[in-house]
Structure 1
């Protein structure tokens, strides 16, 4: 009772919100890159918010179901098919025993998520089921999925209330530019006035050095006052380091726990999905906001998700209700 991996895709891993409380011991948080898409995938199935999913990157996997279950697919469009027929995203999909779910390359975005109503039978390690690839810890044997792997289900849950079986009309991740709102610091004082102006006023390009650990950008040199080297300190999700070469590196889910380069700013958590769904050669701009503004954006996003959850958990008796779902989601995903 579970899923058999026929093809693993480029990078398919088991992820949840991450493994917190162990950075002081050298273990990164890991977890999903696009928290918003992850939460919506579980929301569509009425799953616990932190239930483990499969995260796919650039080229998706092929899965065979050995028992019936219900799934939801969110994030970038990997052109999913079920038994050769196109499969919709952002809705609950009933999978029968023997069905084959296949993904292609990412048509939009770069990361996708598959949630399961029957819950993946992955052991909890240090409070999380997520995969830490650098440490070989958690998830499925601490690694990405490969052909012939098998993951069982923890429960038999093959039905949902009728009102959860609707399709949500989502905006696609097809933009080639993104403006990331950032909170300056904690080491922005190490950079010259011209360096700060360059950082906030220039266009940067996503390079092919872009993985779960971080995203290296190409663009104008960000000048320090003297040096950007510091005594190593902690690194948050979305922290933007500027090494001696003067080009920003944004640290992501599998980031190291500490680093010795000055951090000019940190991406607001609500904008991290914009970044992690980018592709090589996409363009990035930065806009400074205050801590209070970043907090307000986060609170607003939580309210939007709560509102979406209430809408999904109500019968869609009128067309107006369904349109309201789409309107809320478009607002949630606006850039």
Structure 2
């Protein structure tokens, strides 16, 4: 069991999402940075879809009412356990009564507080994710508040002190902008790309779009020179997924994210590839992003380094845990 002592708005319980219900008007939800959650669950020997606390606003302070092994992934932030500084992306074990404090990130935007065994909230439509717009899932369908308690399995690992290299240091992704403050994202031209003027098509790829404060888990609204159509069109509604870049009448794009609408009708100019969605999730308000055109084949191939990174982590964790147990067994034998 853990108790939330201090939290800002919009921190929620999330897992990998709720697929398979978009035809009923139910969005996928789930963590914005799926890689961060998967890394945490691999480190803790969890099921890949075990739920975490997704952190979007800081600081966060909580108490472990029972002993628990945990890891904070997704961000580089100041984290301390009862005054002892601990590192992100590392496995730690807290004793009952210890207090964890997570400060504002120095890098990244969204963290995952993963607990061994996951967060125990009811499964709704196959997922523990919070659906804020629908008001269900997670803890009563709402953000976490001070005083909330969350049930955990009470499982602790016999080995700790190991961790993962953040994906940003490992994955072979397209380079960021020259100024170091622009995030480059690979995207494919979408169904309605041809409806835009050649000048707007080129401007879409050349513009460093700024993420505006009118952004949330539903989508990032971008600011830049408006994009124009050849002529005004009226489209039939179509299915929407995370990564689709829509252009409303004002001409400034919206990138759909984890809580994306299930249907939409604005022209689609591009789609951010799956392999880069985690990078978009870690972009802060005010950050500039630049889209880099890629083909469907290149977009599919871009998942190979991601999958290889996770597979390598699984092997490393298994090797470390086996070696640690062997060393512990040898020491016990020596004492005997």
Q: Normalising by the residue count of structure 2, what TM-score does the alignment of the two structures yield?
A: 0.89
**Equivalent in the alignment of 1:41:** 40
**Equivalent in the alignment of 1:57:** 56
Distance 1:27 1:284, change over 3 A: same
Counterpart check, 1:257 vs 2:257: no
How many residues of Structure 1 are paired with residues of Structure 2 in the alignment?
314
1:317 and 1:135 mapped to 2: Cα distance? 44
**Equivalent in the alignment of 1:203:** 208
**Equivalent in the alignment of 2:155:** 157
CA offsets 1:167-218 (integer angstroms, 9 cap, x no match): 3343779952111100111211211111111101111111111211110111
**Equivalent in the alignment of 2:299:** 294
Counterpart check, 1:92 vs 2:91: yes
TM-fit CA distance, 1:86: 1.8
Q: What SS class does the counterpart of residue 133 from structure 1 fall into?
A: coil
Q: What are the within-5 Å matches in structure 2 for residues 50-129 of structure 1?
A: 50-129=49-128
2:311 and 2:240 mapped to 1: Cα distance? 29
Root-mean-square deviation (CA, aligned residues, Å) is: 1.9
2:143 and 2:191 mapped to 1: Cα distance? 34
1:82 and 1:317 mapped to 2: Cα distance? 26
**Equivalent in the alignment of 1:177:** 182
Structure number with larger C-alpha Rg: 2
TM-fit CA distance, 1:317: 11
2:285 and 2:320 mapped to 1: Cα distance? 42
In structure 2, stretches of 5+ residues that fail to align are: 170-175, 324-336
Counterpart check, 1:189 vs 2:194: yes
**Equivalent in the alignment of 1:130:** 129
TM-fit CA distance, 1:276: 1.4
Out of 304, 315, 320, the residue aligned to residue 315 of structure 1 is 320
TM-fit CA distance, 1:121: 1.4
1:64 and 1:80 mapped to 2: Cα distance? 13
Contact 1:10 1:60 in 2 (8 A): no
TM-fit CA distance, 1:119: 2.4
Counterpart check, 1:140 vs 2:156: no
Q: What are the within-5 Å matches in structure 2 for residues 222-261 of structure 1?
A: 222-227=227-232, 229-261=234-266
Contact 1:233 1:258 in 2 (8 A): yes
CA offsets 1:97-131 (integer angstroms, 9 cap, x no match): 00111122222211000111132111111000000
